[in-house]
Amino acid sequence: MEDVLELLAEPYDPKRPVVCFDEKPVQLLADTREPRPVRPGQPALQDYEYRREGTANIFMNVEPLAGWRHVDVTEQRTKLDFAEQMKQLVDVHYPQAQCIRVLMDNLNTHVRASLYAAYAPAEALRLLQRLEFHYTPKHGSWLNPAESEISVLERQCLDRRIADRQILGQETKAWEQQRNQTRVTIEWRFRTDDARNKLQHLYPQLPDKFTETEY
C-alpha cells in the first residue's frame, strides 16, 4: 500500500509519468420500443423493457497530474488485450518517456508474461524495459485513481442504455476529449501518514518487547 501512496505523492515528471490503469465490463442494452422524444418541461419517456446485446470492455488510462485520460472499448479483456494497451502506452501515448510507471490492480492478466504471450520475445522485452508495474494491495483497488475516473465516466456518460460497441466507443471518445480539453486533474490526498494513522489494522502488529526465547 505504501508503495502506491508514495508513487501517487511524487511530483509531475514527464520523463517518468505515473499512469493509472483499470478496466470494467459494460452491459450493452437496446430499447425494445422507441423512446418518446423529449418535450419542453417533460422528462424523457422510456419503456422499462430492454434487450440484452452482449457485453463490452472499457480500458481506462489516466495520468492524474497531467489531466490526461484515454478510453479504449474492446470486445474482451484478455492478456492479449492488456498487452496491446501497454504497447500503446509505450509507442503511441508516451514515446518520449524514459519509464512509464503503471499503477493497476492484481488481475491475473496484468503481468509481464502477458506481453510475451502477445509478442515475440525481443519485442516484449523492448516494451517491458520502458514499463514499471506497481500494484494495489488485495481489496485495495480504491487506491487506484483510474477506478475513480471510471466512476466519473459511468455517471457522466454511461448512465443510459447503449446498444453496441460502436456507439459505446463514440460516446466514450466524446467524453474523453471533453475531459482532456479542460485538463481535469486528480489530486490524490490520501498519504502514507494517513494510512498509518487510519488503517493501523492493516499493518503487522509488533510485540512491545521480545522475550529471550522469542529473540
Nearest to 107 by CA among 126, 133, 70, 132: 133
- Regarding pTM above 0.75, the answer is yes
Question: pLDDT tens across 24-72, in order?
Answer: 999 987 766 676 676 777 666 665 666 777 899 999 999 999 999 999 9
> Where along the chain do its domains lie?
2-26+50-201
Would you say the C-alpha torsion 186, 192, 196, 199 has a positive or negative sign? positive
d(CA 116, CA 157): 35
Report residue 214 CA to chain centroid gap. Answer: 44
Question: pLDDT tens across 132-172, in order?
Answer: 999 998 888 888 999 999 999 999 999 888 888 999 999 99
* Cα separations in angstroms, 173 against 27, 116, 143: 18, 29, 25
- CATH number of the domain at 2-26+50-201, please? 3.30.420.10
Report whether 93 contacts 70 (CB < 8 A).
yes
d(CA 110, CA 10): 23
In this predicted structure, what is the pLDDT of residue 40? 78
